[in-house]
Structure 1
Amino acid sequence: MFLDYIGGMTAYRVEVTRDGKWWMVAIPEVDGLTQARRLEEAPLMARDYIAVSLDVPIEEVDVAVAVIDVDGINILDAITKLEAERAEAEAARDQVAEDTRRLAQTLAGKKIPVRDIGAILGVSHQRAHQLVG
């Protein structure tokens, strides 16, 4: 993904903001500004601008997108929050799955029929059988 576009060399900081139909790509370290039609083009446009400005091969230029702003919304901050929430949701799903499996096995140990375990857990008897097994 374009936000991870950072290699082993020192990266230039890039700030991207939306302006009408364009993404404005600011490169403060070289006092540069370029534009891109699509957000995923921003790192390449920045690298190209830096390479031309410094007269170096583009392969020697790396960038790190540090800010993406749309009308005052810091997209990178929002994405960081969403990724944390996704991780929490995944951990909760994993815990629910483990607790469900454990309860199914406990009920089976009490000789509760698999169809009844399914009814208790709100799953099909086939799924209950998988959980018990």
Structure 2
Amino acid sequence: MHQNLHTFSCTARRDDDLWVVECDQHPHVRTRGRLLAQATRRQRHVLAAAVGVPVANLTVDVLPLLPDVVRDHIARAWKLRETAAWANREAAAARRAAVSALAAEGLSLRDIGTILGVSHQRAHQLLNQPAGMSGR
């Protein structure tokens, strides 16, 4: 049985030592808290009471207002994480290709492991690992 869910967007801003969370759809509904998570929880409860729905049927999406420099750092960090994940996948594929090429040359798993700086057991895993699987 699917409950009728209500989603509201809210904006959070700093006011001295507190976070103030205000509902974009109902600007009169606002809460304060020392921590953003605390203010968000309170906002969810106050908003549920204000619109007359159970808290369980309500979600609150909070967008904190942050300085441009902070938003830029956060965006850069996410982009770098994506790049790192891609680089790790590419490195794993290249290592599997190297293991396959070395095995095709007739090298032992012990020699392959030594060349790649891994154990012979890991070389065996890489040799037998499907291309879609990620390595350690």
TM-score (norm 2): 0.67
Unaligned runs of 5+ in 2: 129-136
SS in 1 for 2:25: helix
Deviations 1:40-64 (A, max 9, x none): 233322223324444x234354322
TM-score (norm 1): 0.68
- How many residues align structurally? 123
AA aligned to 2:64 is: I
Correspondences of 1:68-87 after superposition (within 5 Å): 68-70=64-66, 73-74=70-71, 78=74, 81-87=76-82
Q: Is the 8 A contact 1:68 1:74 kept in 2?
A: no
The 1:52/1:95 distance shift into structure 2, 3 A limit, reads same
Q: Which residue of 1 aligns with 2:23?
A: 27
Cα offset, 1:103, TM superposition:
1.0
AA aligned to 1:95 is: E
Q: Is the 8 A contact 1:25 1:46 kept in 2?
A: yes
Q: What is the distance in 1 between the residues matched to 2:23 and 2:122?
A: 55
Q: Does 1:62 align with 2:62?
A: no
Unaligned runs of 5+ in 1: 1-6
Q: Which residue of 1 aligns with 2:126?
A: 131
The 1:61/1:97 distance shift into structure 2, 3 A limit, reads closer
Q: What is the distance in 1 between the residues matched to 2:112 and 2:24?
A: 62
**Identity among equivalent pairs (%):** 28
